[in-house]
C-alpha cells in the first residue's frame, strides 16, 4: 500500500498532471493548475512527493495533514500541489476498493449533474451566436465574462456595453436561459455597486466574484444592494479561507476549486460547512480532465451543489489540446440536455491517454494570463 513512485507532466494549454504509484501496482492521477508559475508548481510537487514516498496510500487525511501543517502554509502553489496529491490518493483508493470515490464519501445524492457552458471570451463578442449554439445543444445555463478592464471609477459607456450584452441574451431567450455574469475580480467596489444596480432587471442566475478576494469585506455592503445571488470563492483555499464568507452570510453561492482548496475531501468539507448556512455550491472547474472528474465526484455526493462549471470547448483552450484529447473513455464528459451522468467507474472514473500526455509534455509550457492596462497605463485586473 506504500507510495513508491510519481511522475509529473506539464501539458498544454495550462495543466500539470501528477501520477502516483503504489507498491501493489495501482496508479492514481491528480492535477495542478500552473497559473503563471509552472516551474514553481512542478518543483513544489517534486518536493512534496519525495516527502510522501513510503507513506501508506490509504491514510489520505494523515498525508494531507502532514503536507499542510507547516509553519508557513496555504497559498496557491502549496495548495494546488496538496490538492493533486490528495486527488491521486483518492483515485488509488477507489480503484483498490472497486468503487467511485463518492461511494467512500457517503454515496451519491443525485442522479445527474447539471452543467453550464461558457460563451464569449475575455472580451465578449458575438455572444448571441455562441449562446444559440449552446442552447441548441441542450444547455439551459451559460456564463459570460461581464467586462473588459475597468478602472476604480470608469465610464457609463462601459457599463452600457455590459448591459447591452446581457439584454441581447435576455431578449432573445426570455427566461429559458439562465445567465451568470462573471466580474472576474476586474471590477473595483465603486463600479461593482453601479453594475449590480444596473443589472437588476435581467434576472441573473448569479454574479460571480464581484470584487477581488482581498476585498471580501466589501461583500457585506454589496450583498445589501444585490438583487441577484452572489457567487465567489474560486481563489480561496481550505475551510479556513471560506470561514468568514460563510459565517457572515455575505454571499449566496461558494465556488471552491478542487485543485486549489486542498482536494476532494476538503472541498466536500467546505460544501458541508456552507450547507449549514444555506449556501449553494457551484464548483469552479475550468481546467483539465482530471480536475473536472474529481469535481464530478464531489458533486455526486454533495446535496447543495446545484450546477457545475465545465471546461469542454472553453475559450481558454482555443487553438490548443482540449480536455477530451487526453481521455480514452470520452463518454464520462458527454452531456445530454445540459446534464452529465454521475460517474460509475472506480476511482475518478478516468482512463487517460498517457502516451499522448507524455508526448505533449515534451513541449514547453509557460502559460501566462494576459496583461491588461487601463486607459492611463495603470495595470488592470485580467
Residue 258, H or E segment:
none
Residue keyed to cell 463518492: 102
Residue tagged active-site, from 151, 172, 188, 284: 284
Residue tagged active-site, from 184, 188, 215, 315: 184
- Which residue stretches of 152-236 are H helix? 156-173, 189-198, 219-225
Q: Are strands 27-33 and 112-118 parallel, antiparallel or unpaired?
A: unpaired
Secondary structure (H, E, C), 272-320: HHHHCCCCEECCECCCCHHHHHHHHHHHHCCCCECCEECCCCCHHHCCC
**Cβ proximity of 197 and 224 under 8 Å:** no
Residues 6+ apart with CB under 8 A from 361: 9, 10, 11
Please confirm, yes or no, whether 184 is among the known catalytic residues: yes
Q: Which of 186, 188, 185 is nearest to 213 (CA)?
A: 185
Please confirm, yes or no, whether 315 is among the known catalytic residues: no
Residue 95, CA distances (Å) to 80, 92, 195, 292 in order: 23, 5, 48, 18
- Catalytically active residues, by annotation: 184, 284
Amino acid at each position: 500500500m506504500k507510495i513508491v513512485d510519481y511522475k509529473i507532466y506539464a501539458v498544454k494549454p495550462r495543466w500539470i498532471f501528477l501520477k502516483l504509484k503504489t507498491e501493489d501496482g495501482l496508479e492514481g492521477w491528480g492535477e495542478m493548475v500552473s497559473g503563471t508559475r509552472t516551474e514553481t508548481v512542478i518543483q513544489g510537487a517534486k518536493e512534496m512527493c519525495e516527502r510522501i514516498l513510503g507513506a501508506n496510500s490509504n491514510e489520505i487525511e494523515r498525508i494531507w495533514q502532514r503536507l499542510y501543517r507547516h509553519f508557513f502554509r496555504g497559498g496557491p502553489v502549496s495548495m494546488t500541489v496538496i490538492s493533486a496529491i490528495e486527488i491521486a490518493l483518492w483515485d488509488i483508493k477507489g480503484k483498490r476498493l472497486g468503487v467511485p470515490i463518492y461511494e467512500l464519501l457517503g454515496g451519491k445524492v443525485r442522479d445527474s449533474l447539471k452543467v453550464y457552458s461558457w460563451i464569449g471570451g475575455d472580451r465578449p463578442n458575438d455572444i448571441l451566436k455562441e449562446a444559440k449554439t449552446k442552447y441548441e445543444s441542450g444547455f439551459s445555463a451559460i456564463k459570460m465574462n461581464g467586462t473588459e478592464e475597468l478602472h476604480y471609477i470608469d465610464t457609463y459607456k462601459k457599463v452600457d456595453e455590459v448591459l447591452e450584452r446581457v439584454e441581447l441574451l435576455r431578449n432573445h431567450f426570455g427566461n429559458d436561459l439562465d445567465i451568470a455574469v462573471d466580474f472576474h475580480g476586474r471590477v473595483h467596489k465603486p463600479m461593482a455597486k453601479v453594475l449590480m444596480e444596473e443589472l437588476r432587471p435581467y434576472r441573473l442566475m448569479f454574479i460571480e466574484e464581484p470584487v477581488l478576494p482581498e476585498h471580501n469585506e466589501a461583500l457585506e455592503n454589496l450583498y445589501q444592494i444585490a438583487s441577484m445571488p452572489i457567487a465567489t470563492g474560486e481563489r480561496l483555499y481550505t475551510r479556513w479561507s471560506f470561514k468568514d464568507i460563510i459565517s457572515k452570510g455575505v454571499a449566496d453561492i461558494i465556488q471552491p476549486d478542487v485543485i486549489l482548496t486542498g482536494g476532494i475531501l476538503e472541498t466536500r468539507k467546505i460544501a458541508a460547512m456552507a450547507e449549514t448556512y444555506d449556501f449553494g455550491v457551484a464548483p469552479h472547474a475550468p481546467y483539465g480532465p482530471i480536475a473536472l472528474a474529481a469535481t464530478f465526484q464531489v458533486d455526486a455526493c454533495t446535496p447543495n451543489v446545484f450546477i457545475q462549471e465545465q471546461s469542454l470547448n472553453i475559450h481558454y483552450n482555443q487553438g490548443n489540446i482540449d480536455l477530451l484529447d487526453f481521455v480514452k473513455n470520452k463518454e464520462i464528459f458527454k452531456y445530454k440536455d445540459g446534464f452529465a451522468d454521475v460517474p460509475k467507474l472506480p476511482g475518478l472514473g478516468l482512463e487517460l491517454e498517457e502516451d499522448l500526455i507524455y508526448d505533449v509534455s515534451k513541449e514547453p509550457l509557460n502559460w501566462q494570463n494576459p496583461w491588461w492596462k487601463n486607459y492611463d497605463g495603470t495595470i488592470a485586473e485580467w
